[in-house]
Amino acid sequence: MGLLVDGVWRDEWYDTKSSDGEFIRTDAQFRSWISADASTGFQAESGRYHLFVSLACPWAHRTLIFRALKGLEDVISVSIVKPEMLSQGWELQGGDLPDGMNELTSMHQVYTSVQPNYSGRVTVPVLYDKKTRQIVSNESSEIIRMLNMAFNDFASDDLDYYPESKRQIIDELNADVYENINNGVYKTGFATTQAAYEKNFEALFEALGRMEVRLSESRYLAGDTLTEAGWRLFTTLVRFDAVYVGHFKCNLKRIEDYPNLSNYLRELYQIMGIAETVDFEHIKTHYYYSHDMINPTRIVPMGPDLALERAHDRDRF
């Protein structure tokens, strides 16, 4: 995971020495919005927007899930980067690229094609406007809300995953899940001191315990309605036993060891269209092969067999 400095690519990892071994994630910089009526400067249109994603990345996975849930596959095009993230960062695989990008080979070139002097980390997902050749957003939490509401005129499903009546509880859940679980696995796995590792390890499993209790009391995190909070948790759960337990040393328990979390994971995985957004070959290759500071042999494990197609018990509620 490199970065751009005044438009120049640098293959540099995160500096944890200056933060007592703590991994600190930087904020996304492109934060514009798409709206149905163009009031935000970008109007929802079919065929206008393009997503750059990694099948390995849990943040990018959110956007693929909402694209599938809303039936926007023919409305928003997608490019998938290579699973290996090496000296050039995320690399493009060609295929369905926007006009003018056929010669580009990496995501950092996508960033500098829009902002030549960009400084910062080069991340996915990226929501790109093919009409104005601008990056609308590289903040996944905001992209999924655009997909949730702005494109309803083109969507096959107008279900709202951020309903007004549940926004307070969704926001509270998101804050807990993001800090301690979504980002918590990274803060645990990328820690470079024992103290930082132990602190984030404990916070991670305390938060998983809280989610397990919530799911013992209701079918979904926010009650009887599946909301964006549930999907934001899902992208970490589905990677947990395959990569975070071993690669990131998050090994107190597997998700399989939590009765409610494991059944919840299987229910969401089995929703129509979701399994197609999950690619364990990309997931395992990315983490185990790309992070040679953690796994210097770059051996990618063959297991585990998660059997996510097994029956779940969530319909008991």
At a CB cut-off of 8 Å and minimum separation 6, what does 233 contact?
A: 173, 177, 181, 182, 211, 221
Integer Cα distance of 72 and 135 in angstroms? 19
Query: Can 49 be counted among the known catalytic residues?
Result: no
Cβ-count burial 104-113 (b if 16+ within 10 Å, e if not): bebbbbbbbb
**Partners of 135 in beta bridges:** 128
| Tokens standing for residue 287 | 């983490």
Active-site choice (186, 197, 258, 289): 186
Active-site choice (14, 49, 57, 111): 57
Integer Cα distance of 174 and 165 in angstroms? 16
Integer Cα distance of 315 and 159 in angstroms? 20
Cis peptide before 125 (omega within 30 of 0): yes
User: Tokens 């071993």 map to which residue?
Assistant: 246
List Cα–Cα distances, 245 to 72, 238, 241, in angstroms: 33, 12, 5
Query: Can 250 be counted among the known catalytic residues?
Result: no
Catalytic residues: 57, 186
